[in-house]
Amino acid sequence: MKGDFVKMLVVASLVVSASFLATGCSKKAVPPEGKPAAEVAPIEKQKPDIGDKMGKTESLDSNPYTAANAKISEGRTHGPMLPVYFDFDKSDIRGDQKARIEGNGDFLRANAKVQIAVEGNCDERGTNDYNMALGERRAQQAKKYLVNLGIADTRLDTVSYGEEKPLLYGHDELSWAQNRRDDFVIR
């Protein structure tokens, strides 16, 4: 007799548990009183009404100096200036980068009140200390080049980030080439 009671208790608790599970997982919207269920949209499909609160559409290519056809990223440099890229383990301004730094000099001559920080960066190869020193040499080379173009050295600060601020986190030549650069940041 006691065994039958325990079996009935177990069966009853299973039935109650199953009914809670079946009804607790329903995702249907409950219609308000007086409306048929067919007129109520499910909650997932309702979208907020934003009306005319959207701003005007802007082009993603708003900076003409970072054209969509550029083959390389433009770093953290403030436009219209362009970053200068370096060869592996070098701090001298490459021939193909001279037009970029001269363009930066033209911008600085045309905007006499603008002051910038030249930020030297390196790829991940090498020790932290070595890369900090290499980044500093790169920033100093760019500053020296700009001073030789007639920009007052009081308008130019330098800082080295070494390998601490990479643009790309890959471990390949494309990523490393992007990270070996000087950025020109308006202060």
Q: What is the pLDDT of residue 75?
A: 76
Domains and CATH numbers, the chain: 84-186 (3.30.1330.60)
Q: Is the pLDDT of residue 65 over 90?
A: no
The tens digit of pLDDT for each residue in 105-139 reads 999 999 999 999 999 999 999 999 999 999 999 99
Least confident of 46-55, 70-79, 166-175: 46-55
Question: What's the whole-number average pLDDT of the chain?
Answer: 80
Residue predicted with more confidence, 178 or 49 = 178
Q: What is the DSSP string of the chain?
A: -HHHHHHHHHHHHHHHHHHHHHHHT--PPPPPTTS-GGGSPPGGG-----TT-------S---TTS-TT-SS--TTPPTTS--EE--TT--SPPGGGHHHHHHHHHHHHH-TT--EEEEEE--S-S-HHHHHHHHHHHHHHHHHHHHHTT--GGGEEEEEEETSS-S---SSHHHHHHHSEEEEEE-
Give residue for tokens 């000099």.
105
CA nearest neighbour of 157 among 102, 117, 110:
117
Predicted TM-score (pTM) of this structure: 0.61
CA nearest neighbour of 136 among 155, 161, 111:
161
Confidence band for 143, pLDDT divided at 50, 70 and 90: very high
Q: Is the pLDDT of residue 38 over 70?
A: no
Q: Is the pLDDT of residue 30 over 80?
A: no
CB burial of 60-76 (b: ≥16 within 10 Å; e: otherwise) equals: eeeeeeeeeeeeeebbe
Q: Is the pLDDT of residue 151 over 90?
A: yes
Confidence band for 66, pLDDT divided at 50, 70 and 90: very low
